[in-house]
Amino acid sequence: MNAMSPPPALASLSPDDTDWLHVLWETNRRWVAALILAHMPRGAELEDLLQEVAMRLVREGLSLRDPASVKPWLRTVAINVARTSGRRQSVRQRVIAGGAEIDADRTPDRGEAAGPSGDDKEQAGLAMRMALDLPEEYREPLLLKAVRGLSYKQISEILGIPVTTIETRLVRARRMVRDRLEAQAAAARAGGEAPPAARRGEA
């Protein structure tokens, strides 16, 4: 794992201080949200999952003595919370369906189901869907890069991989999104159905 320096506001506080946790949370919660977004099933509520991460931080965060361990810890918790929610949701969906399995992963969330109100919003929604359909190793850095202010270095600290790998994955992620959008546009021009986007986890 790369060494990380705590944010300036954090450096002045002791890890024993509960204010330390608050600064920590406020400094990191946006990328935590993006990471949850990258891993949660589409029917889940981002807000609920963020609250679960926040509660975990309050309960366990004071035991994080080393500031360098904070980001990896938050990442692990965020991914676990998102995946656990996916398992819970899958079970619930199966119960609701009375045994007929429903693919919770494909259920659109509220934001996407709301429908675009304009072309720009529609394009933004399409970009998001394409990003979410990428394999995990490309989806994570692409969504994190879309959180304002995160540099390659910061993303590499969060994901625990070298900056060069982050850059390569971003290039490939964007190429995949571009290719899929072009394929979709070509299919639309031909009057046919758009090819199904690759499912998560498939290269």
Partner 1 sequence: MSNDPRHHEPRPASELEEVLLGRVVDGEATPADWAELERLAGTDQAVWTRLASAQRAHARLIRAVEDRVAVAELIDLPRHDVLARIGAGGAGTGGRARQWGGWAAAAAVALVWASTSGVFRQSFPGGGMNRAGVGIGLAPVAAEPPMSTDDYYSRFMRSGLAEGRILGEMPARLVESRDLPTGDREITYVRQIVERRRVTDAPVLGVSKDEAGVTRLVPVGDSPTPASARPL
Q: Per rule CB under 8 A, is residue 167 in the interface with partner 1?
A: yes
138, two tokens: 């490309």
Minimum separation from the CB atom of position 100 to partner 1 (A): 26
Instruction: Determine the distance from the C-alpha atom of residue 65 to the mean position of all C-alpha atoms in its chain, rounded to a whole number.
Output: 26
Scan residues 54-93 and list those touching partner 1 (CB under 8 A). Answer: 54-55, 57-59
Q: Per rule CB under 8 A, is residue 13 in the interface with partner 1?
A: no
Pick the stretch among 1-9, 65-73, 167-175, 185-193 that binds partner 1 (CB under 8 A): 167-175
Q: Per rule CB under 8 A, is residue 10 in the interface with partner 1?
A: no
Please tell me the number of Cα atoms within 13 Å of 88 on its side-chain side.
11
> By C-alpha distance, which of 140, 129, 142 is closest to 196?
129
Would you say 31 or 100 has its CB closer to partner 1? Answer: 31
CB atoms within 10 A of CB 59: 9
Q: Are 139 and 37 in contact (CB under 8 A)?
A: no
Dist CA 168 CA 111 (whole Å): 30
Q: Which residues bind partner 1 (CB under 8 A)?
A: 18, 21-22, 25-26, 29-30, 32-34, 37, 46-48, 50-52, 54-55, 57-59, 111, 120, 123-128, 131, 142-143, 145-148, 151-152, 163-164, 167-168, 170-171, 174-175, 177-178
